[in-house]
Amino acid sequence: MSDIDIRKQGRAGHITLNRPEALNALSYPMCLALDAALIAWRDDPEVALIVIDAAGDRAFCAGGDIARLYAEGTAGNHAHGQEFWRDEYRMNARIASYPKPVVAFIQGFCMGGGVGVACHASHRIVGDTAQVAMPECAIGLVPDVGGSALLARAPGKLGAWLGTTGTRMGPGDAIYAGFADLYLPESDWPALIAQLCATGDTASIAAKAPPPARLPALQPQIDRHFAEPRLPLVLASLSADDSDFARDTLKALSKVSPLAAALTLALLAQHGPAPDLRAALEREYRITFRAQAQTDFLEGIRAMIIDKDRKPRWRHASAAAVPQAEIDHLLAPLGADTLTFTE
């Protein structure tokens, strides 16, 4: 059975991520197959829209296939990851600029690479079980797959908090933060997908009131503590606050890579008031291109996924120990290796 099911269904191109036993983690072959389908259907008159969903009830896609990235990276094959990220980011950009509607149905975990597939779609539907997050800092990476653009577009400084802490968002919060457009109970999805496929028309999509969001109430505290894009200043602000929010945020930040969190804040600070996705992907690639050799990425995967000892040996013991020169180097242009968006 294929890890990704790609077929025409009526007037729709229907793509189903089909690795439920692996929480539909996106492998390199899945990424290439998804992108090839989008290219093939772009000018196909029989295809009026694209439907993207996932098998199983636990996850839309819990992220990229980082176990494979770890195996290749620790073997010294950094080119595998560099090629994977390059082609994945091009696929992310294609979804965002696709000339036909792309309707994504998000249930369960939607994290990292899953966000890159679902959250750049033109119509992003979340169900009750949706848990959307960018938890890359916990494995020593930065929010990528265009996630930095999504985070930068979130209200106030919400993106800086979400990106550094990896906090999960339920359906109401995902809509509030701009990672989803509308809520629909998952029991209604089969009928809607059948109608989309039969008609090729998104007019049949009708939202229902989502569960309450909790993030609006936290917005003032988030904006105050994350006002400055430097991690030591954020930590100092949180440390001076005796609130539950500050304590919980400090605890979350204590578990992530100091380098990754500092890089995330610097990356988000580079965005203007209207973040451009392709520019975001190009900046993210500067970091991921270097990630296996020059960041905490491989150590983070070892500690969290491979050995599961949850005792990562980060490159820097604290936020204050992260040199600005290291941040600047990881964000520097790649020259001949710069990400482009040619097919």
Q: Which amino acid is at 140?
A: G
First and final CA of the chain: distance in angstroms?
Answer: 28
As a whole number of angstroms, the distance between CA 257 and CA 300 comes to 8
**CA–CA dist 235, 319 (Å, integer):** 8
Cα pseudo-dihedral 4, 9, 14, 20, rounded to 10: -40
Is 113 one of the catalytic residues? yes
3-state secondary structure of 84: helix
Is 272 a catalytic site residue? no
The DSSP bridge partners found for residue 124 are 104
Catalytic residue among 35, 72, 144, 296: 144
Tell me how far CA of residue 95 lies from CA of 114, 120, 188, 285, in angstroms: 12, 6, 24, 18
Residue 144 appears among annotated catalytic residues: yes
278: which 2 tokens?
A: 């392709």
Residue 324 CB: number of other CB atoms within 10 A?
Answer: 10
What is the SS3 assignment for 107?
coil
Catalytic residue among 13, 64, 140, 147: 64
Residue 180 backbone zone (phi > 0: left; psi -120 to 50: alpha; other: beta): beta
- SS3 assignment, position 102: strand
Q: Mark whether 241 is an active-site residue.
A: no
Catalytic residue among 53, 72, 88, 136: 136
- Cα–Cα distance, 252 to 166 (Å, whole number): 8
Which residue among the candidates 73, 113, 166, 300 is catalytic per the annotation?
113
- Residue 115 near residue 277 (C-beta atoms within 8 A): no
Reduce the DSSP state of residue 276 to 3 states and report it: coil
What is d(CA 7, CA 158) in angstroms, rounded to the nearest whole number? 38
Query: In which element (H, E) is residue 289 found?
Result: helix 277-294
Catalytic residues, which ones? 64, 113, 136, 144
